[in-house]
Copies of this chain bind each other. A is one copy, B any other.
Amino acid sequence: MTQPDTTSQAEVGAAYFRLFNEIGIIAQLSRTLLEARLPKGIILPHFSVLNHLIRVRDGRTLMELASAFQVPKTSMTHTVGGLEKAGFVTVQPNPADKRSKCVFITSEGRTLAAGAVTALGPDVAELAQDFPLERVQAMLPQLEALRTIMDAKRG
């Protein structure tokens, strides 16, 4: 009996599908929201990388960044290239491994990220009126757990 209770296999699949569908749409919405507050030409992946460098640590390699965001390394090369050309990061060879490069955020990069966070303040405040912080805090552990599990399956 691999189907012990009243929930059919198809219904189970449908629930997971709805989950990922909702997540996909929210990702899309939040992306649009953020990009409306970023300078022209700077998009979500740029901001995400800058923020990662600030939050986690400076000097991550391209591969570390790519796996942190679960994107192909070619995409990360392109994203970092754009940030470098715009002067928001510098890229330096890794003395510990000559194959790899380390990405450092510049003060311009920090300014950009901080400015975006500030610009988003009112949007967050407005959202918090309808979807309060407690609900976010309740969801976060669940999402983190799901992310970790999925990460592990396709490491």
Q: Is A51 an interface residue when CB atoms closer than 8 A count as contact?
A: yes
Interface of A is mostly: helix
Interface centre among A13, A135, A137, A140 (most CB of B within 10 A): A13
Using a CB-CB cutoff of 8 Å, which residues 48-80 of chain A contact chain B? 48, 51, 69-71
Q: Is A154 an interface residue when CB atoms closer than 8 A count as contact?
A: yes
Q: Is A97 an interface residue when CB atoms closer than 8 A count as contact?
A: no
With beta carbons under 8 angstroms apart, the residue of B131, B143, B149 that contacts A149 is: B131
B27 near A48 (CB under 8 angstroms)? no
Across the A-B interface, the 8 shortest Cβ-Cβ residue pairs: A27-B27, A20-B30, A22-B143, A29-B150, A130-B149, A28-B70, A24-B27, A15-B136
